Chain A
Amino acid sequence: MLLTLDIADSRPLHEQVAAAIRRAIAEGECAAGDRLPPARELSQALGVNANTVLRGLRSLRDEGLLEFRRGRGVTVAQGAARRSILVDRVRELVAEAARLGYAKSDLMEMIRVVP
C-alpha cells in the first residue's frame, strides 16, 4: 500500500493522515475487507505519533470508510472506495461553502431542495 503525506499541507496532522489513507482507499491501494497495517506500523512509516494516527483512523471510521473489529484490527469497509471519493468531495464542498460564508446547515438546506 502506497501512502502519500503532503508535507506542505497546513492542516492538523491527524487530518493529513486521514487524507492519506482516504486517498489510498479511493485509488484502490487497499480493497474492501483488507486489513490496514497496525497503527504502530503506520506511525513509524509516516513519522507521526501513534495517537495522531489513531485519531485519523477514528475519523475515517466515523466517515464509514473503516471498520474497527476486536481481534481483527482495522479493516476497509465495504464500498469504501466509492464512498471515499464522495466524502472527499463533500469535504471540499463544506470548505468552499465556509469560505463563501455559508454554514453546514445552509448546505444541508440546499441539498434538501435539490431535485
Chain B
Amino acid sequence: MTGNVAGKRGAGVARWAAYGWVAGVLALLLALPLLTAGRLPDRVATHWTGTSGRPDGSMPLWAAAVFPALIWAVASAVVAVAHGRAGSATAWGGTVLLSMGVTLVGAQAAIVRANLDHDRWQDAESVTPWVVGTLAAGAAVGVAAALVTRRRVPPGARPSGTPPMELPPDQRVVWLASASNPWLYTLAAVTGATALIALVLTVGGVVEAPLWPLIVPFALVSVLTFGCASVQVLVTDQGLRVSFGPLGWPARRWRPADLESAHAEHRTPAQVGGWGYRLSGLGTTVMLRAGECLVIRARGKDFAVSVDDAERGAALLNAVAVRGR
C-alpha cells in the first residue's frame, strides 16, 4: 500500500520534471538567438560543409530561433502521446527527451557562438568541434538515462502468472502459435530488391564505382528484417521454443526447469521501443504487432513474444513448469 503511494508520488515527480525539462529547453532554444540578436547578422549561418567547416546555408534570425524550437515541440508532443497511450511503462520517452534536449541546445549554442559579432553569415566560424562535443554529450546523456530507467524497473512487481492449465495424466498437450508482420516482409523485400539491383549494376559494370556501401547495409537489413518478420511459438512438455523467420531458425529454447512463471500481457511497440527483437526496461520483447504478448520469466529474466491466444499458452507453460520441477 505504502509502496503504491510512493510509486504514484514518484511518477508525479517524474511527470513534473519532464514538463520542466521540456519548457526549459524550449525557452533556451528561443532565448539563445533572440537575446543575442543585437550581435548577430540578419541572416545567420545554420549549415556548414562537412569537409572545410565553412558555412554553406543560412536562415533569417527568427527562423533560426523558431525552427529548433518547433522540432523540440513536435518531438515532445510525440513522446507525450506515446506515453499517454502506453501508460507509465514507456521507458524510452525520458531517454529520448533528455538526449535530444541536450543535443538541440548544444547545436543552438554552437550556431549562435559561430555567428556572434559577424556582419555576414558567410563569415561565421567553424562549428565542427562544438558539433562533435554536442553529439558526444547527447549520446552520453542518452546512454546514462537508458541505464537509469532500465534499473528502475522493479523486479517482482509483475503479475505472478496465469493459473496453470489442468493436464490429464494420459494426454500430451501442445500449444502452437505464430505471428507475422506484413510490413516487415515488405521492408525486407524492398531493401533486398535494392541490394540485388545495386549488385547487378556493380557486377554488370553499368556504374563506374562499385556500389558496395549501398549493397552491404541493404542486404544486411533485408536479411535481419526477414528473420524478424515472423515468429513461431511452441509449448510442449519439453518447454518453450520460439523460432524466428520462415525457416524456423534461429530459435530460442527454455526447458521446463528454467521457467519461473508465464502470463499474458498487452504490450505495444511504443512501450518496448519499436518492432522486431527489442531490449528494453521490460526485458526482451519480440514485437510484431501491438496487443497480446506471452511473457515468461526464466532464470530471472523476462522474455516476451507477441502472439494471439497467449493466455492459454501461458497456462500450459505454467502447467509444464510445475510438472518439470
B residues in contact (CB < 8 Å) with A: 170-178, 232, 234, 236, 248, 309, 312, 316
Contacts and interface: CB of A to CB of B under 8 A. Distances in A.
Dominant SS at the A interface?
A: mixed
Interface stretch (A4-12, A54-62, A77-85, A107-115): A4-12
A46 B171 CA distance: 11
Give the most central of B171, B248, B309, B316: most A CB within 10 Å.
B171
Contact of B174 (A7, A8, A46): A46
A97 to B, nearest CB: 27
Please give me the 10 A-B residue pairs with the lowest Cβ-Cβ distance, nearest first: A8-B170, A5-B172, A45-B174, A37-B176, A7-B170, A3-B174, A1-B176, A4-B173, A2-B175, A4-B171
Contact of B232 (A3, A6, A37, A46): A37
Interface of A: 1-8, 37, 40-42, 44-47
A2 B174 contact: yes
A5 to B, nearest CB: 4
Contact of A4 (B172, B178, B232, B234): B172
B312 A44 contact: no
B248 A41 contact: yes
B316 A44 contact: no
Contacts of B309: 1
Contacts of B236: 45, 47
A41 B176 contact: yes
Give the most central of B173, B174, B178, B309: most A CB within 10 Å.
B174
